[in-house]
């Protein structure tokens, strides 16, 4: 099974929208193994509302935690311990798009990070970046962490306003292609998700 893991340089940079675009473009299955802050809405519900093809299956979360925090903090508050070895990957004959929680160094427990999940599952990565003050540092650190573990990175998606100088700085050190760009939009529709998918280099 081909696994594509959508991660970001931080929280709130657009992982769910990118997951929807890639899921729709590939008519892949979607899975968010660790959902925190579900009272504010589940990412799988966002995906469900943005996907229009009939092939995609949205798999249930392995853990749904109420606190909007790292999986480690949210699970500890509910008296739960999450371990990667105990998370069962959904069985499917389709490509599986996996959306992470937060960034690469988000803790899952005392010993495991989100990047450990990617490595253990031998998943390919799409890194979502966003141009803001400090994003060059966050993007480069994410690229370095992925390169250090020899994780296969399909490329970077930029979400938001363009900052070509920032991107040039990043790409001069990070040897990953830009596979897509998302412009600021007030609302995303299934039609826009399809249109973006046609522009992505997947």
Least Cα distance to 121 among 94, 151, 93, 143 occurs for 151
Q: Quick check: 62 and 33 in contact, CB under 8 A?
A: yes
Q: Tell me the C-alpha distance between 100 and 143, whole Å.
A: 16
Q: What angle do CA 105, 158, 33 make, to 5 degrees?
A: 45
- Given 3, 32, 42, 55, the catalytic residue: 32
Q: Tell me the C-alpha distance between 108 and 84, whole Å.
A: 8
Q: Quick check: 66 and 42 in contact, CB under 8 A?
A: no
Per the document, the length of the chain is 202
Based on the residue annotation, tell me whether 32 is a catalytic residue of this protein.
yes
CA-to-CA dists, residue 167 to 93, 136, 139, 171, 172, angstroms:
36, 8, 10, 6, 8
Query: Helix, strand, or coil here: 51?
Result: coil
Residues classed as catalytic = 32
């Amino acid at each position: 099974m081909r696994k594509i893991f959508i991660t970001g340089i931080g929280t709130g940079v657009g992982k769910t929208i990118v997951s929807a675009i890639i899921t729709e473009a590939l008519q892949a299955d979607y899975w968010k193994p660790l959902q925190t802050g579900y009272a504010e809405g589940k990412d799988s519900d966002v995906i469900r509302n943005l996907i229009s093809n009939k092939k995609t299956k949205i798999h249930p979360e392995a853990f749904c935690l109420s606190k909007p925090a790292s999986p480690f903090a949210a699970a500890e508050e509910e008296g739960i311990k999450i371990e990667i070895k105990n998370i069962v990957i959904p069985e499917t004959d389709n490509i599986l798009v996996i959306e992470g929680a937060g960034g690469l160094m988000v803790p899952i427990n005392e010993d495991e990070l989100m990047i450990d999940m990617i490595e253990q599952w031998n998943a390919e990565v799409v890194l979502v970046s966003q141009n803001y003050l400090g994003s060059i540092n966050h993007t480069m650190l994410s690229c370095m962490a992925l390169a250090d573990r020899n994780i296969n990175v399909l490329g970077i998606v930029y979400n938001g306003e363009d900052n070509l100088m920032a991107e040039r700085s990043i790409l001069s050190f990070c040897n990953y292609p830009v596979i897509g760009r998302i412009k600021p939009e007030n609302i995303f529709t299934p039609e826009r998700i399809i249109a973006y998918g046609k522009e992505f280099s997947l």
